[in-house]
Amino acid sequence: MNFIRRQRYLVDYIISSMLRRKGKNLGLMLVYSLIVFMLASVMLFTHALKQEVGLLLHSSPEIILQRMVAGRHDFIPASYLEKMGRIRGVTSRKGRLWGYLYDPSVKANYTLMVSDEQALAATEVIIGSAIARARGVVPGDYISFRSFDGETYSFQIKSLLDHETELVSADLVLLNSKAYHALFGMPEGVYTDIVLSVSNLREVPKIAEKLSQRLPDTRPILKQEILRTYDAIFSWRQGILFVLLAGAIMAFVIFAWDKASGLSAEEKREIGILKSIGWETSDVLHMKFWEGALLSLLSFFIGYLLAYLHVFYASASLFEPVLKGWAVLYPQFQLSPSVDGLQVATLFFFTVFPYVVATIIPIWQVAVTDPDAVMR
């Protein structure tokens, strides 16, 4: 009880003391919040991207089967669907047709994909919203693509793709298989790749093994592997940014050290007075602890809040080009807000912990001021 009451008195004192030195504390808080803001933005953004990718891949097939010719990805004959035979655990399998098409007018690559579910007529397409933005078209308008033999084909835009999946659907064009063949001049009876759905995840590696035995010239790509790669890549990119920001953290640590050790004569005198009238070294240490705690908490909160707003409401405009990718057609999308304990803990170790460590010695130095210093 007494302990808590004592801490309350100390907090009371330090708040009034901090309010008397607004300028100095505001400066520190500004820098502190900025550091938290930068790191938190990076973390929130990559975490949200990771989640987005996870959500997108959630409904994608477990296995993609590609045919390899001379070590390069080649068309896969439709007969392979029969050739692979029945494999236990595979719930569905089908061939896909897709490809890339360069559009010189916006200097970007589109991904063209045949969609059977959408029941498109040969002259209809569904396009991703980034293409619609780049070309300035709306549903009902016509869009034209140049085919492999130089012909130009016009398509009516039936609708736009869902906004929520924009991260991967930004450059996507869905079309009829007839239109696809006309544009690319591909022979009939082949697919770009084959996709298989598997209901029990534990069977995936076994099935992949069987596939590569029965169809030795193919390569199975597993969804788990893609997820793993994405996970690693996002962590890695985040890590690179953190390394780049390490300089900023270092500067912040030096700044904090300087602020804590460069007390004004006024402040030093104040602590001398406190010690002379009966405050003990540990009282001063506790008081200074509360100063650091309040400052850190407030800065952390402000920085994190700003980062949250930046990432989820301003689409992370500062980091977008670095973290999202290298495509010309930037997806424009609202990330779904998510906060994660691991991130907060990591962020804490990158900001509050260095601050604390940097201030321990300066605080101790002022706390052990001679109690009789004011008498000299």
Partner 1 sequence: MLLNPAIMALILVSVVVVLMLAMATGFALQVLRHWDIRSGSELQLRLERRTYLISTLMSWAFAAEVVSLLLFIYNAESMSGQFVGAMCATGVLNVNPWGWPTLFMKIALFFGGAIWLILNALDNQGYDYPLTRLKYLLLLLIMPLVMAEAYLQLRHFLELSPDVITSCCGSLFSSDAKGVAAEVTSVSPAVSMWGLYLSGTAVIAAGLFYSRVKRGSAVFSLLALIAFGFALVAIISVLSPYIYEHPQHHCPFCILKSGHGFAGYLLYIPLFFATASALGVGVVGPWHHIASLTSAVNTKGRQLVHVSVGLFILFYLLATVYVMSSNLVMQGVWW
Partner 2 sequence: MNRITLNNVTKVFNQGRPNEYAAVRGVSLTIEPNRVTCLKGPSGSGKSTLLSMIGCLSRPTSGRILLGEQMISGLPERFLTDIRRHTFGFIFQQFNLISGLSVLENVILPAYPLAPDHRTLMKSAHELLERFELGHKAESPVQWLSGGEAQRAAICRALINDPQILIADEPTANLDTKLSHAFMGQIAQLRKLGKTILITSHDPVVFDSPVVDSVVELQDGAVLQEAVDAA
- Where do contacts with partner 2 occur on this chain (CB under 8 A)? 2-3, 5-6, 8-10, 12-13, 16, 20, 270, 273-274, 276-283, 370-372, 374-376
The reply on whether position 349 binds partner 1 by CB under 8 A is yes
Least gap, CB of 26 to partner 2 (angstroms): 17
How many C-beta atoms surround the C-beta of residue 242 within 10 A? 16
Query: Which residue from 55, 297, 339, 357 is in contact with partner 1, where contact means CB under 8 A?
Result: 357
- Beta-sheet pairing, 193-198 with 63-69: antiparallel
Contact partner at residue 122 from partner 1, partner 2, none, CB < 5 to 8 Å by partner kind? none
Q: Which of residues 34-73 bind partner 1 (CB under 8 A)?
A: 43
Query: CA-CA distance, 76 to 192, in Å (whole number)?
Result: 6
Element housing 9 (H / E):
helix 2-20
What residues have CB less than 8 Å from 131, skipping those under 6 apart?
A: 106, 110, 137, 143, 170, 171, 172, 173, 329
DSSP class of residue 141 equals: S
Is residue 140 at the binding interface for partner 1, with CB under 8 A as the rule? Answer: no
| Cβ-based nearer residue to partner 2, 5 or 86 | 5
Query: Is residue 31 a contact point for partner 1 (CB under 8 A)?
Result: no
Exactly one of 186, 227, 293, 373 binds partner 1 (CB under 8 A); that residue is 227
Among the listed residues 224, 261, 276, 332, the single contact to partner 1 using CB under 8 A: 224
What is the amino acid identity at position 133?
Answer: R
CB-nearer residue toward partner 1: 148 or 364: 364
The DSSP element (H or E) to which 58 belongs, if any, is helix 22-58
- The residue among 52 and 166 lying less far from partner 1, judged by its C-beta, is 52
How many residues would you count in the chain?
A: 376
Binding mask 234-263 for partner 1 (x = CB under 8 A): -xx-xxx-xx--------------------
Q: Which is nearer to partner 2, 116 or 370 (CB)?
A: 370
Residue 236: name its binding partner from partner 1, partner 2, none (Cβ under 5 to 8 Å by kind): partner 1
Instruction: Quickly list DSSP for 143-160.
Output: EEEE-TTS-EEEEEEEEE
Interface mask (CB under 8 A) for partner 1, residues 325-344, using x and -?
Answer: ----------------xx--
Considering only the stretches 85-93, 101-109, 228-236, 324-332, report the one whose residues sit in contact with partner 1 under the rule CB under 8 A: 228-236
* Residues 244-264 as b or e (16 or more Cβ within 10 Å = b): ebeeebeebbebbbebbeebe
| Contact by Cβ (8 Å): 315, 331 | no
Q: To the nearest 10°, the Cα dihedral for 286, 288, 294, 296?
A: -120
